[in-house]
Structure formats: C-alpha cells, structure tokens
Amino acid sequence: MKIDILTIFPEFFDGVFDVGIIRRAKLAGIVEIDVHDIREFARDKHRKVDDRPFGGGEGMVLKPEPLFRAIENLLGTSDRSEYEEGTHVVMLTPRGKPLVQTNAAAIADKAKRVLLICGRYEGVDERVMSAVTDEISIGDYVLSGGEPAAVVLADAVTRLLPGALGNEGSAENDSFSRGILDYPNYTQPREYRGMEVPEVLLSGNHEEIEKWRHEKALEKTRGVREDLLKEKGE
C-alpha cells in the first residue's frame, strides 16, 4: 500500500513512522509512506497556502490552488471519476465520519493508495472536497490540525495489512475487531503484590479459557462501552 500525506508541517512526521509495526512494515515493503509539503505547490514567492474566509469570520482557510496542484501531481488528476481503482483521498476533519475498526479494515482490505490531507486553521476551502473520496474524524474533539489524525489512521490501517503483524491473530482479537472490547491479559509473574493470575488461564483448558475471555470482554464492554453491545443487539 502507498500512503501519501499532504501537510503544511512535514516536520511533524519526523521519525514518527520509523518505530514499531509501521517501521517493520516499511522495511518489508508492505507499506510506503511519503510526506509532502503543501507549500511546495504554492506559486507565489511567499508560498502562501491560506487566506481569510469569504463572508468574514475568525481564522484562516487553506486555499484550493496548492491542494489541487498537489493532488494532481501525486495522482495525475483531481477528478474522482478518473482515480485508479483502490485510490482513497481522505480529508481528515472533525466533520467526517468517525474512524472505527471497520473503516480501517475496509481501507486496509480494498485500498491500494491512500492520500491523506491534513487540514489546518479554520479548515479547507470547500471546493477541495470535490477531489476527496472520504471525510474521516478520529473523535468528537478539535485538534490544531489533521497531522495527529493522519498518524492514527496510517497506524490503524497499516497494522491490518497482511504480514504487518508477527501474529495475524493479534488483529483478529483486538478491541472492536469483534464488535466488543478486548479481554484482560496477564503475563509473568504469576503473583505480583498480592494480585494473582486467574486460575483458568493456567489450566490449559482452551475451551474454558476462551469462555472466560469472552465473558470478561463482555463484562468490560458493558462497563465502559455499553453502546457497542446495543449495536450488536446483546
């Protein structure tokens, strides 16, 4: 998969994709991630990428010209109908649809190229949306820009690509992958500060272990995210 990121602060991403799972996926050729400075596509001598909004209001808005040029430089076109199959142009914005595990899985499964646009200031000129295929939000809050969201989305998608994880079953058992939160995990030592590992996990009875894990996952979900169970009809 190829992931391109458009931002006015490329330095934000220095080193962020050079650790952990994403680094291993890059080295293995599973994913390629490139960061592009939107200012490189501005034509005036000051490399201006923003301006005041028509109609008045606070703040600045990212201009359409540099963004259209950037999209066309990377994809060859800004016409959605002409994008190659498997191309997703994603605007990271608080008004987008929430990023949930199923969204990340769909992108990982179907997308071949993902272009992430990091908004800034008061937003992006609405005309840019004509070149966008997806609007995604990572939560009901406002960030200074789309850069943190781009990191979140790139990570969520990359770890679901075939071969990215050492154990493919890890992704299947993640929170949300089954529609509920993850079960509790334990490791050595068996006893620590008076807290012991549940006996069932030491029993070797895999059927009972799976039953215990499912019950604990449901218990955790009821206590923290009951809305997920309502969505599943449980």
Is residue 114 within 8 A of residue 4, CB to CB? The reply is yes
- Give the active site residue among 4, 10, 120, 159: 159
Residue 184 falls in the annotated catalytic set: no
Residue 159 falls in the annotated catalytic set: yes
- Give the active site residue among 53, 64, 94, 148: 94
Q: Which is it for strands 195-196 and 191-192: parallel, antiparallel or unpaired?
A: antiparallel
Residue 193 falls in the annotated catalytic set: no
Residues whose CB is less than 8 angstroms from the CB of residue 133 and which lie 6 or more positions away in sequence, other chains included? 80, 83, 87, 88, 89, 90
Residue 207 falls in the annotated catalytic set: no
Structure tokens at 108: 């990982």
Is residue 86 within 8 A of residue 115, CB to CB? The reply is no
DSSP code string of 130-195: GG-SEEEESSSS--SBSHHHHHHHHHHHHTTSTTSSSSTHHHHTSTTTTSSPPPP---S-SEETTE
- Give the active site residue among 37, 122, 182, 219: 122
β-bridge mates for residue 50, sequence order: 62
- Give the active site residue among 125, 155, 174, 182: 174
| Catalytic residue numbers, as ranges | 94, 122, 159, 174
